[in-house]
Amino acid sequence: MLDLDSWQEILETLRRNKLRAGLTAFSVAWGIFMLVVLLGSGQGLANGVSYQFRDDATNSIWVWPGQTSLPFAGLVPGRNVQFTNADYDDMKAHAPEGEHVTGRFRLFGQIVVSRGKESGAFDVRAVHPDHLYLEKTRITKGRFLNDTDITELRKVAVIGKLVKDALFGSDEPIGDAIQVNGISFQVVGVFEDSGNESEMEKVYLPITTAQRTYNGANRIGMVMFTVGDATLEQSKLIAKDVTRRLATRHRFDVADARAVRVNNNIEQFARFSGVIAGIRAFTWLVGVGTILAGIVGVSNIMLITVRERTREIGIRKAMGATPRSIISQILKESVLVTSVAGLSGLVLGVAVLDVASRFLGDTDYFRHPQVDMRTAIEATIVLVAAGTLAGLIPARRAAAIKPVEALREE
């Protein structure tokens, strides 16, 4: 059964000491508010990092040819390195079972893609079937390129959603044809992509067909492959091994960083993740420090409360109040202040994150700032428990007051 008289007395005490109670509540609410805002901001940064890698497989390595900058075996620097189908075949042969490898041959110049009277300048890429997994392409109609398209040099194409909208409108594209610089390709699939809109303004062709049709010979512009669940260190060793094999085939110094350019997405993702982990640790440190400061403030205020109410406590004890009832009274006041202030700080922090998300919108490196409500509520509960403990010392001191000495207080 609730002790209504006790709670009424607590509320009356708080009413008489508005400034003291307000400062105590503010310190607690501010601690929770700062923790929620900092955690939400950290999550916004983490979401931004994940967004940067939304379009590509994070366990992939991409390799581009470059230009030599070091002499090698009598060869002068400044030679262009040109990847060929042999480089793709070598990486495919060395790839573990189940991993994906693709080359990319890009058509340069003014590429016009048309259908009837409709036309547009779209990016045309010639790739292998595994490219579907490297770019996280989602097929919405039909299919992607397959091995038969490659071996039989089929004139087929997979088009992005925006290409479909521009050339076909509401017409069915599957089975119909488009012209790429005047050469006809049958549409076998339509795709969407997790990247920006430009990723859906692309046309994919079988790489062998494009090489033959557009005088690409056996040239490849780049090679990309996945490395499964390889660790960061393992991925670095894989990248070094690929560079070594390319150096042997194309005759350049393996230490020549400009001969080939390697982008290890695992390394990039780990670097960004490390930064985010550091930011999160910092936000927790600042947030917890702010909460601790609030708890200390509660304890100090309660000590002042006990000091101010020494005479009152002495009278109550002289009238028969037990030490337990005195401790209970002080603890109840501490719990009430920390609970109300903690929940207020939590609600305000969540509201600020919501407003910030709506006002700032989404950027490439900061998206959807939000806090895990379970974590926030747990932090609030811990704060209330800590506030209770913070009030225990002044409560015990109040219980130890001797009535005779208290009555002598002025």
Calpha distance 210→180 (Å, rounded): 10
Domain boundary among 231, 261, 291: 261
**In this predicted model, what pLDDT tens digit does every residue of 268-298 receive, in sequence order?**
777 777 777 787 787 778 777 777 776 777 6
Are residue 122 and residue 198 in the same domain, yes or no?
yes
Are residue 10 and residue 107 in the same domain, yes or no?
no
Domain of residue 319 covers 4-53+270-408
Give the total number of structural domains in the chain: 2
Calpha distance 396→347 (Å, rounded): 33
Are residue 158 and residue 179 in the same domain, yes or no?
yes
The predicted structure's pLDDT at residue 1: 42
**In this predicted model, what pLDDT tens digit does every residue of 22-56 receive, in sequence order?**
777 787 788 778 878 887 877 777 777 666 655 66
SS (H, E, C) 240-260: HHHHHHHHHHHCCCCCCCCCE
Are residue 325 and residue 394 in the same domain, yes or no?
yes
Domain boundary among 205, 240, 261: 261
Long-range contacts: 273-282, Cβ < 8 Å, 24+? Answer: 273/49, 275/49, 276/42, 276/45, 276/46, 276/49, 279/42, 279/45, 280/39, 280/42, 280/46
Q: Where are the beta strands (DSSP E) in 128-218?
A: 137-142, 156-160, 177-180, 183-193, 202-206
Are residue 162 and residue 92 in the same domain, yes or no?
yes
Are residue 118 and residue 202 in the same domain, yes or no?
yes
Are residue 348 and residue 364 in the same domain, yes or no?
yes
Domain boundary among 209, 244, 261: 261
Q: Which helix (H) or strand (E) holds 101?
A: strand 101-106
Are residue 102 and residue 28 in the same domain, yes or no?
no
Are residue 40 and residue 144 in the same domain, yes or no?
no
Which residues in the chain land under pLDDT 50?
A: 1-2
The predicted structure's pLDDT at residue 377: 74
Are residue 242 and residue 311 in the same domain, yes or no?
no
What residue type is assigned to position 147 of the chain? D
Calpha distance 349→380 (Å, rounded): 12
Are residue 257 and residue 206 in the same domain, yes or no?
yes
Calpha distance 345→29 (Å, rounded): 4
Are residue 140 and residue 82 in the same domain, yes or no?
yes
